[in-house]
Copies of this chain bind each other. A is one copy, B any other.
Amino acid sequence: MYTTYISIGPAPTKNGQCTFTVWAPECNAVQVVLAASPQLPWPMEKGEMGYWTVTIGQVTPGMQYWYKLDNELQRPDPASRWQPEGVHGPSAIVDPSFDWTDNDWQGIEPAEMILYELHTGAFTQSGTFQGIISKLDHLQILGITAIELMPIAQFPGHHNWGYDGVFPFAIHNEYGTAADLKQLVNAAHQWGIAVILDVVYNHAGPEGNYLPNFAPYFTDKYKLFWGGAVNFDGAWCDGVRNYFIQNALMWLDEFRIDGLRLDAVHAIFDSSALHIMEELTSQVRLLEQRVQRRKLLIAEFDLNNPRYISPVAQGGYGMDAQWVDEFHHALHAAITGEQTGYYEDFGPLEDLARSLQNSYVYTGQFSKHRKRCFGKMPVNTGYNQFIAFVQNHDQVGNRLLGDRLSTVLDAEALKTAAATLMLSPHVPLLFMGEEYGEKNPFLYFTSHTDKVLIEQLCEGRRREFAVFNWEGKVPNPQEEAIFNQSKLSWQIDEVPGLLRFYKYLIAFRKEQPALQNFRRDDAVRNIRIQKNILHF
């Protein structure tokens, strides 16, 4: 019953024509301004639901343009595919064609995933998609079946984790071109490796966000930790919903990405009868049918609420899987003894046992840290719907010094952690470098240009860290050195034997039928703890 989904942004054709579509329901005039001929703007026509369109001839890849709103504001395209000069510059036309050679690829099932999370900028020295391609052999030999790219949408400045993106349809201009990303996906598929992309649909970054000039993309009805919430349920929300749905479909269809990891969906507030996650799922299922490839939706959230990953017929949103942070917290607290911040809710081996059995640790009991009873038993879910990890970008990077487990644990403890993960019933995810015990930190880095914003950011980090009682000064995320320190060293013999152990564990996991059983009713039995040893 919902309105037709409408493609947005520039749609160039082979014959040099290009139709521009932009959503600006409350504007009275919108024009396309080609950077090469700014004195001759192209008036757009307003169609249903506030979508403006115009078709222009002789448009070639690389041509730069702006939209002009109500004859006043000149702004880049909210659905820009390319921001060659960064977030404040013009948008540019991208040629969507690519010679794919992965036609036999079918996508990946969650149960088959051995995930590897990486940050494009910090994974290799070059910090590009080409850099990732050069490491695919390493990953394939390790046994990885899916890489997960931290967000690649255009963000302000040179370096950023990616969660400050403001052009969800544009690839960050320093990581490579659209063609480079397609080359990466194509190559990965040829190595038998799926590509999952981290996308941020719960907020926009604090710098270069011009969306509010176009339409009510944000609402003050809900208060987020990091500012205005996205308007998924107020007046004009259909265009906002379409914007993110089109974004998901672009990555999954045009770029042949195998799945999306949706950042912090607990910060997506939607009182609509059809929740945006359910709507997105239904559109992705239609795409799956059309392209005959499996496409995954993986949610990150902090609610211990199985509704997100439950079938639509059971009132769920039908997503495929979710990250399960509590497995990490239970393991981390048990293995390091940390008891500050949110680790105060974890510690005894019983918590780890609980996560191995129930995926969540908190399924209704009182949480000291949250000061409330929390969570629900994830009945009617499979273990293959839960992505577990010993480390990830957040759990390393949101430590004061970005320190990895390899700098605080000895080799045997690292192996214990690795084995707990790889033998767990959940789908395992490694964080780049974990496989060989990388010692470089993964720090929080930014390169914003707004001075006030930078000050707020540092203050925010200080407040966030206060509960942990960590010792030391909060590093300045703006310093170039902080980014450089966070790059992988690729000293793959850093912890002797560790890489070989990971390879062995992954191979073992793939071979053992018991580890291919993800049924909640019988995959895990007889967990017991004796003399501080967990048996399972």
Contacts and interface: CB of A to CB of B under 8 A. Distances in A.
Interface of A: 1-3, 25, 49, 220-223, 233-238, 266, 269, 271-274, 303-307, 310, 313-316, 363-366, 370-377
Nearest to A2: B373
A262 to B, nearest CB: 16
A235 B374 CA distance: 10
Contacts of A233: 372
Given A236-B371, A315-B310, A371-B236, A365 B271 contact: no
Shortest 9 CB-CB distances between A and B: which pairs? A315-B315, A1-B364, A273-B376, A273-B305, A235-B371, A2-B373, A237-B372, A221-B223, A314-B315
Given A310-B315, A315-B314, A373 B1 contact: yes
Nearest to A216: B371
Contacts of A310: 315
A375 B273 contact: yes
Given A220-B223, A222-B221, A314-B314, A1 B363 contact: yes
A360 to B, nearest CB: 9
Given A1-B363, A3-B373, A238-B366, 10 more contacts: A1-B376, A1-B377, A236-B371, A272-B374, A273-B304, A273-B307, A273-B375, A274-B376, A314-B315, A315-B315
Contacts of A373: 1-3, 238
Contact of A223 (B223, B370, B374): B223
A223 B313 CA distance: 31
21 contacts: A1-B376, A2-B373, A25-B371, A49-B366, A220-B223, A221-B222, A221-B223, A222-B222, A235-B370, A236-B372, A266-B271, A272-B305, A273-B303, A273-B304, A273-B305, A273-B307, A273-B376, A274-B376, A310-B315, A315-B315, A315-B316
B234 A372 contact: yes
B235 A372 contact: yes
Contacts of A269: 269, 271
Nearest to A219: B223
B274 A364 contact: yes
A492 to B, nearest CB: 41
Contacts of A314: 313-315
Contacts of A238: 366, 372-373
Contacts of A237: 372
Contacts of A274: 364, 376
Nearest to A366: B3
A49 B234 CA distance: 37
Nearest to A317: B315
Contacts of A376: 1, 273-274
